[in-house]
Chain A
Amino acid sequence: MPEQLIFAMEVFLNGLMAGVLYALVALGFVLIFKASGIFNFAQGVMALFAALTLVGIMNGQVPFAHIINATFGTDLHYFGWTVPGLLAILLTMGMMVLLAWCVQRFVFRHLVGQEPIILFMATIGLAYFLEGVGDLMWGSDIKTLDVGLPQGINETIDEVTFGWFGYGFFIDNLDLVATLVAAILVTGLVLFAQYTKQGRAMRAVADDHQAALSVGVSLNFIWILVWSLAGFVALVAGIMWGAKSGVQFSLSLIALKALPVLMLGGFTSIPGAIVGGLIIGVGEKLFEFALGPALGGATENWFAYVLALIFLVFRPQGLFGEKIIERV
């Protein structure tokens, strides 16, 4: 087999893996958009906030330490205990549910029935707010996140492919874990939506708020549920990305990687987010591999959007989006 083809295969596989990571972020957007028609600009910041909280709890950091110290002249930093990963994840999840409740209670409850652009704007405010609160609570230094995820090259794949092609493929263990987690997450979400009472209620709300209300579904509860789920997805995405780079402000920028995925897969489809992620991941990596050197590199960012654009010209509602029917 020619060398270039082997390399292209490796790039293809890694593109798939990268796509899964993008899809993880996109999932959070889809969940909220589907159930409430809100384009949640704060999803990236939620991932950051969740990851910060997780690390903070694990390390026993004192929340708001900096401002407490500045106000009372104390010198607090750590409680002096550490919390095991799993318990910390549960506690963080509790925090995200609380956040979901607050968001619902103090923001969106007052904005029921408003136009989408106004709801979008509210999430902008929320993003600013959360970013500030996250910084105040946990400080803005880089934190190391260690929940015991494996990282580095997968030996088995390396050896097996070396045996086949004479060139060992590089697959990151973290990416494999991410794929597994994404698969479980999507299956879980689909099962939840199809087979549980709350899931059915959620789908009913997604189809028609008024109709759902009239058959006795509590909108309030469903929206808290959806925001909690999105918070959970944000936490997972935060863990996966945070394991690579440490938990820091830039984590909130991963939302930008999810936007083309979202556009391509459709705002309203959970499988769409996954398929969209895979297409974008593979597309941008292969393009960089094939034409990057000729164009001077760093093409991935814009190519993801151009790729999404090309797809959209042929399917304006995204690959799996609901068909747009317009009537006068």
Chain B
Amino acid sequence: MKYKLGTMAIAAIMAAGPVMADLVFPSLSYRTGPYAAGGIPFADGYQDYFTMINARDGGIGGVMTRVVECETGYNTEKGVECYEATKGEGSLVYQPLSTGITYQLIPKTTADNIPMHTMGYGRTSAANGDVFSHTFNYPANYWNGASGAIKYLLDENGGDLSGKKIALVYHNSAYGKEPIRTLEELSKKHGFELSLLPVDHPGQEQKSQWLQIRRDRPDNVIMYGWGVMNQVAVQEAANIRFPMENFIGIWWSGSENDVLAAGAAADGYKALTFHNVGSDFPVFDDIQQYVVDAGEAAGAGDQIGTVLYNRGLYAAMLAAEAARTAQGIHGVADITPAMMRDGMEALEITEARMTELGMPNFGPAFKVSCENHGGPGLVGMTQWDADTKTWSMISDFGPSDMEVIQPLIDEDSAAYAAENNIASNC
């Protein structure tokens, strides 16, 4: 952001002239609106990674990358506008960053032959690549998250949860209701008692829910929250003296934003994750050198190393790797969205490759296939330390209970296939 608005305008007009061969990665971001605090770091991370790739490696396979940012404000209608505005530029992969926009784009991207990557959000059953040919949600989805939380609790309790009480506090929307089915199945399997506590949008007033938790004294609380609901929930949990280490949030409830407002009281709060946290990775040196020092950092440049920044970085890394895979498969450097889809379907992330990229153990190692667009569903756990104001990983990326999740995925995707007359894809 070291250039002036005026010169940027001229540069933009000049850039609009000749069409150069480049790999276009649209970033449907939300830096405004009620969820801006969650959208800004992700968008910054996504953009910074590609800026670094361009400066350090000269793009992917010799072709420069270009990030086209479009502001959605987390609003579905603006998301549609953004999609239509950017798809003509040869956009390789969409990451809409909103469950609403995802549902919108699943049929559209399929019809337009452009892949979409919804990492840790969106339609869970899109993991079934047989039905959802152009939608990918590796490395983990909401149901993996729910199962991962239960698995963590199983480990904590010596493998037995029978007789325990677990409460789910969730955003009363499609997103928040995602884990209910999985948790119900798991409660049958492991014999714990599940209680459901919906919180209406936006979630500034949660007294009823937390009074009920105080009365019922569940052993654990799992939260699927978003936006202001997270901060209020953490604060209310602290108010009723609910032990923070028994309070687990999904990854969208586990960033710095969600716990800082509650101060010291939030210490010990846990959140699920599918990527590593902190800035203790070699890749951050490159970002400092090629992006920050060059004055090219996205946004205000103050988000580097936060949880959501890392998520954006991780998403960009997976996209870049998929593009590289696609280049390898098709032997073309300037790939098309259709080739990108093949690359995503053949994507394999190994520990060795991540180390090579300066991101050792940044995420789980996984492999995508035609049938499985969701990866193995490995999730880890992070914990908040209020003194040092940092999140840290407290468990490795572990498997979730696919035995329970897979039938649910098959059932939901079969219903979608039947409703929309989709033939088998693999």
Residues of A near any B CB (own CB < 8 A): 7, 10-11, 14, 17-18, 65-66, 69-73, 75, 77, 135, 139-142, 144-146, 151-153, 170, 172, 241, 244-246, 248-250, 253-254, 257, 285, 288-289, 292, 296-298, 300-301
**Contact indicator A253/B1 (Cβ below 8 Å):** no
B62 at the A/B interface (Cβ < 8 Å)? no
**Contact indicator B261/A70 (Cβ below 8 Å):** no
Set of chain B residues within 8 Å of A241, measured between Cβ atoms: 204
Complex interface bits, B199-210 against A, C-beta within 8 A gives 1, otherwise 0: 110101101110
Q: Which residue of A lies closest to B6 (CB)?
A: A71
Can you list 30 A-B contacts (CB < 8 A)? A7-B215, A69-B300, A70-B1, A70-B4, A70-B5, A71-B4, A73-B1, A73-B3, A73-B295, A77-B300, A77-B302, A140-B33, A140-B36, A140-B37, A142-B231, A142-B257, A151-B239, A153-B239, A170-B214, A244-B231, A248-B36, A249-B33, A253-B202, A285-B208, A289-B211, A292-B208, A297-B197, A298-B199, A298-B200, A301-B200
Partner of A151, one of B211, B235, B301: B235
Complex interface bits, B214-236 against A, C-beta within 8 A gives 1, otherwise 0: 11000000000001100110010
The 3 A-B residue pairs with the shortest CB-CB distance in the complex, in nearest-first order: A246-B261, A140-B36, A250-B228
Q: Which residue of B lies closest to A297 (CB)?
A: B198
Q: Which residue of B lies closest to A14 (CB)?
A: B207
Q: Which B residues from 224 to 259 make CB contacts under 8 A with A? A: 227-228, 231-232, 235, 238-241, 257
Cα distance, A184 to B172, chains bound together (Å): 36
**Contact indicator A250/B260 (Cβ below 8 Å):** no
Instruction: Give min CB distance, A23 to chain B, whole Å.
Output: 13
Cα distance, A142 to B211, chains bound together (Å): 26
Interface residues on B, range: 35 or more
B265 at the A/B interface (Cβ < 8 Å)? yes
B196 at the A/B interface (Cβ < 8 Å)? yes
**Contact indicator A144/B263 (Cβ below 8 Å):** yes
Partner of B240, one of A65, A146, A153, A298: A153
**Contact indicator B205/A73 (Cβ below 8 Å):** no
Set of chain A residues within 8 Å of B33, measured between Cβ atoms: 140, 249
Main secondary structure of the interface of B (DSSP, over half): mixed
Cα distance, A172 to B197, chains bound together (Å): 20
B355 at the A/B interface (Cβ < 8 Å)? no
Cα distance, A312 to B403, chains bound together (Å): 54
Cα distance, A139 to B265, chains bound together (Å): 26
Cα distance, A297 to B4, chains bound together (Å): 51
In the complex where A253-B34, A300-B200 touch, is A285 in contact with B207 (Cβ < 8 A)?
yes
Partner of B204, one of A152, A254, A296: A254
Cα distance, A298 to B229, chains bound together (Å): 13
Set of chain B residues within 8 Å of A172, measured between Cβ atoms: 239
**Which of B32, B200, B205 has the largest number of chain A CB atoms within 10 A?**
B205
**Which of A14, A69, A70 has the largest number of chain B CB atoms within 10 A?**
A70
Q: Which residue of A lies closest to B238 (CB)?
A: A152
Set of chain B residues within 8 Å of A253, measured between Cβ atoms: 34, 202, 204
Q: Which B residues from 173 to 189 make CB contacts under 8 A with A? A: none
**Contact indicator A11/B211 (Cβ below 8 Å):** yes
**Contact indicator B232/A245 (Cβ below 8 Å):** yes
Set of chain B residues within 8 Å of A69, measured between Cβ atoms: 1, 300
**Contact indicator B208/A244 (Cβ below 8 Å):** no
Cα distance, A246 to B301, chains bound together (Å): 22
**Which of A10, A71, A141, A151 has the largest number of chain B CB atoms within 10 A?**
A141
Set of chain A residues within 8 Å of B37, measured between Cβ atoms: 140-142, 248
Q: Which residue of A lies closest to B231 (CB)?
A: A245
Q: Which residue of A lies closest to B210 (CB)?
A: A170
In the complex where A141-B40, A142-B261, A152-B265 touch, is A18 in contact with B207 (Cβ < 8 A)?
yes
Set of chain A residues within 8 Å of B260, measured between Cβ atoms: 142, 144, 246
Set of chain A residues within 8 Å of B228, measured between Cβ atoms: 245-246, 248, 250
Cα distance, A75 to B292, chains bound together (Å): 12
Cα distance, A45 to B260, chains bound together (Å): 23
Can you add 7 more A-B contacts, CB < 8 Å, to A248-B37, A250-B34?
Answer: A70-B1, A73-B4, A135-B32, A241-B204, A253-B202, A285-B207, A301-B200
Cα distance, A285 to B204, chains bound together (Å): 14
**Which of B211, B212, B214 has the largest number of chain A CB atoms within 10 A?**
B211
Q: Which residue of B lies closest to A6 (CB)?
A: B215
**Contact indicator B198/A257 (Cβ below 8 Å):** no
Instruction: Give min CB distance, B255 to chain A, whole Å.
Output: 10
Set of chain A residues within 8 Å of B257, measured between Cβ atoms: 141-142, 246
B117 at the A/B interface (Cβ < 8 Å)? no
Q: Which residue of B lies closest to A299 (CB)?
A: B200
Cα distance, A298 to B231, chains bound together (Å): 18
Q: Which residue of A lies closest to B2 (CB)?
A: A73
**Contact indicator B202/A288 (Cβ below 8 Å):** no
**Contact indicator B208/A11 (Cβ below 8 Å):** yes
Partner of B202, one of A142, A151, A250: A250
Set of chain A residues within 8 Å of B215, measured between Cβ atoms: 7
Set of chain A residues within 8 Å of B204, measured between Cβ atoms: 241, 244-245, 250, 253-254, 257
Set of chain B residues within 8 Å of A288, measured between Cβ atoms: 208
Cα distance, A75 to B3, chains bound together (Å): 11
Cα distance, A14 to B300, chains bound together (Å): 41
Partner of B198, one of A146, A151, A254, A296: A296
Set of chain A residues within 8 Å of B214, measured between Cβ atoms: 170
Cα distance, A70 to B5, chains bound together (Å): 6
Q: Which residue of B lies closest to A132 (CB)?
A: B32
